[in-house]
Amino acid sequence: MPRSLVIDPVTRIEGHSRITLQLDDAGEVTDAHFAVTQFRGFEKLCQGRPFAEMPSLMARICGICPVSHLIASSKACDGILAVKPPKTGEDLRRLMNLAQIVQSNALSLFHLSSPDLLFGFDADPATRNIVGVAQLNPQLAKDGIYLRKFGQHTIFLLGGKRIHPSWIVPGGVDAPLTADKRDEILAMIPEAYAAIERAMTWYIGNLMSFVEETDVFGSFPSAFMAMVDDKGNVEHYDGRLRVVDADRNLLMEFDGEDYAAHIGETVDDRSFLKPTYLTAFGPEEGVYRVGTLARAIVGNAFGTKRADEALGIFRERFGIAPSSSFHYHYTRLIDVLFCIERMEEHLLQDDILSTRVSAKAEVNNNVGIGVSEAPRGTLIHHYVVDDDGIIQTANLVIATGHNAAAMNRSVRQVAQRYVHGEHISEGMLNRVEAVIRCYDPCLSCSTHAMGQMPLHLQLLRPDGSVVDEVRR
Amino acid sequence: MSTAGPLVICYGNDLRGDDGVGPVAAAAMAADVRFADVTVLSAHQLTPELADDVAGASRLVVVDAICDDNPPGTVNVTPIAAETGDSSLTHHVSPGTLLGLVQVLHGSTPAATAVTVSVADLDDDGLTPGVAAAVPHVLDVVAGLVLSGVGVSGA
């Protein structure tokens, strides 16, 4: 009789979740399900609010990627106003978005995943943590800390707050950049380059330690989606959404405003997270991935010198469309490198200190759709307002929702490889969790993280009684 | 940013009722002349990159809300010990883990104390009356810790 293995909650991701593994009579995994167990309800509470409140309200969705929500929300509001921000206003938005991607990707790789990568997946969890990383590889820990500080301090200099800045507003940004702040950010960039390049060297040097994980951590054919610019290169702020198949053949390319014609959302009775799919292929066949791996596959190039060199090395080693989600880690590093380069480019522009940074207007459209690339992938905010600008409906399509179906497949693949019988080992447990961490899911963005729960995994008999249990 | 003097990190979520007592205390310290030479940070949560700031400080005090059985507004003073094993971290770290990170990366840590305020409600906006009334005492306690180096017992 089929039995279930439940991992509840999953640790070292943002938010709370549960993994359920379905076992057959022989104790082998037949299916897996990743569920988000928190209720959020942001789409509902937006209703009845003035649209101009949306950016600051949406930023409260998450303490890790508030800037992503500010960007997508403000772009949706731009659509309602029917305005395009002045060039400097857009460039300053880009600058803050890039800074946030640096700090968020650094957090994911250095603080959450590097313990696994440094100590191995079977290591004692008492040492497999950020303090253990600092003991074994102090430079790696320092580089992670520096990149986090670089991103966070840039956000602070631009927006006046490190978390939940309200500087990005409908029509542009609230205040121009000053010369002293520009110079302060520029002064941090050389060490940011040094830190990410040291980390990349370390990561590449350790790749051979994870050949097995690379083979089974979400290694399956799927489509990939990311934003591209008019040259088909990686773009994080404004461009068209491109979808390629597992061999990197173009499936479709469309404006973000047309997302609903190409992306469907499903309701999962067991989870508060709504998985998405490509409507042209249906929920089963329309699985796709977003985020750093997708950006590295979908884009023709990054369009900056250092990142393109790094991308060339990556593609030379793994091909133009590697299927393993383990490569989210590698591509996260390239993404950071690219963001630093783009930040430097923007800061060196002559007009970056222009004081014309916002456009003003009244409500001119009843619908606004804003799309951007968040650290974890494509983010869509879709608002409908009445003639007074009061929100009637809001739909938020989050990167973790895009990746939900792929995460389920990844968990199943890993579980089928490592989970056998009725005993739960630490290595087994951690690998099942670690494949989820490859995607760096931000469950706060689909629910809301509050507090912290210990790890709790249960192996249940068909009658629901516990045959094995792990807490940490 | 680094500081050679005392460092106070007040943290919490000001949208979660009494959890915002840290940020409220930080705002009050900004207007209090006793903290003119003290670096006061207001944060949502403790994160690893604060390690550099802590390493450069002569003394560390963190101010946070706490859920316990004490009457709301009780101010608790607890020394912080460096911890080396925190396997269940998410995007934030505990005060002990932060101090452990500083110990490992910089070889030593400043004397560190947690000043926590027992809470009544974490759902509504703003502080409950008992917690709000405790804020001046929080400032007195923290001032005592960072300015004289002598702890002040909690109320």
B15 has a chain A CB within 8 A of its CB: yes
Q: Mean of the per-residue pLDDT values for chain A?
A: 87
Average pLDDT in the A74-99 region? 97
Shortest alpha-carbon distance between residue B59 and chain A (Å): 21
Choose the closest CB to B93 out of A15, A130, A132.
A130
* Residue A210, both tokens: 């994870």
pLDDT of residue B96: 92
Residue A265 DSSP label = E
* Digit-coded pLDDT (tens) for A350-379: 999 999 999 999 999 999 999 999 999 999
Shortest alpha-carbon distance between residue B42 and chain A (Å): 10
For residue A210, give the 3-state DSSP assignment: helix
Least confident range from A207-211, A214-218, B1-5, B55-59: namely: B1-5
Instruction: Judge whether residue A431 has pLDDT over 70.
Output: yes
* Digit-coded pLDDT (tens) for A134-172: 999 999 999 999 999 999 999 999 998 766 778 999 999
**Most B CBs within 10 Å: which of A131, A162, A164, as the mutation test of the B interface?**
A131
Evaluate the omega torsion of the peptide bond into residue A221 and state whether it is cis, within 30 degrees of 0. no
Question: Residues in chain A whose beta carbon is closer than 8 A to a beta carbon of chain B?
Answer: 11-15, 60, 63-64, 107, 111-112, 125-132, 134-135, 138, 141-142, 144-146, 148-149, 152-153, 162-164, 449-450, 452, 454-455, 472
Helix runs in A82-129, H state only? 87-106, 114-119
> Is pLDDT larger for residue B148 or for residue A212?
A212
The CA–CA distances, whole Å, from B9 to A345, B23, B42, B54, B81 equal: 34, 9, 6, 9, 16
Which residues does A377 contact at the CB level (< 8 Å), separation at least 6?
A: A225, A226, A289, A290, A291, A294, A399, A400, A402, A403
Four-residue CA torsion sign, A415, A421, A422, A425: negative
Where on the phi/psi map is residue A3: left (φ > 0), alpha (ψ -120 to 50), or beta? beta
> Is pLDDT larger for residue A398 or for residue A270?
A398
Q: Mean of the per-residue pLDDT values for chain B?
A: 87
Choose the closest CB to A129 out of B52, B86, B91.
B86
pLDDT of residue A470: 57
pLDDT of residue B152: 37
Report the percent of chain B where pLDDT is more than 70. Answer: 88
Q: HEC states along chain B?
A: CCCCCEEEEEECCCCCHHHHHHHHHHHHHHCCHHHCCCEEEEECCCCHHHHHHHHCCCEEEEEEEECCCCCCCCEEEEECCCCCCCCCCCCCCCHHHHHHHHHHHHCCCCEEEEEEEECCCCCCCCCCHHHHHHHHHHHHHHHHHHHHCCCCCCC
Shortest alpha-carbon distance between residue A446 and chain B (Å): 16
* Digit-coded pLDDT (tens) for B36-85: 999 999 988 888 889 989 998 999 999 999 999 999 999 999 999 998 76
Average pLDDT in the B93-118 region? 92
Average pLDDT in the A67-79 region? 95
pLDDT of residue A472: 46
pLDDT of residue A129: 82
Report the percent of chain A where pLDDT is more than 90. Answer: 62
Residues of B in contact with A134 (CB under 8 A): 101, 104-105
* A31 pLDDT tier (thresholds 50, 70, 90): confident
Element housing A191 (H / E): helix A179-206
Average pLDDT in the B10-25 region? 91
Q: Which residue of A has its CA nearest to B82?
A: A131
* B153 pLDDT tier (thresholds 50, 70, 90): very low
> Is pLDDT larger for residue A5 or for residue A69?
A69
* A8 pLDDT tier (thresholds 50, 70, 90): low
Chain B residues 113-152 with a CB less than 8 Å from chain A:
none
pLDDT of residue A106: 93
Burial per residue of A233-267, b for 16 or more beta-carbon CB atoms within 10 angstroms, e otherwise? bbbbbbbbbbbbeeeeeebbbeebbebeebbbeee
CB contact under 8 A, B85 and A127: yes
φ, ψ of residue A49 to 5 degrees: the values are: -90, 150
Residues of A in contact with B101 (CB under 8 A): 130-131, 134, 141
Please count the other Cβ atoms lying within 10 Å of the Cβ belonging to residue A391.
22
* Single-letter residue type at A283: P
* A282 pLDDT tier (thresholds 50, 70, 90): very high
Residues of B in contact with A128 (CB under 8 A): 87
Choose the closest CB to A107 out of B1, B91, B104.
B91
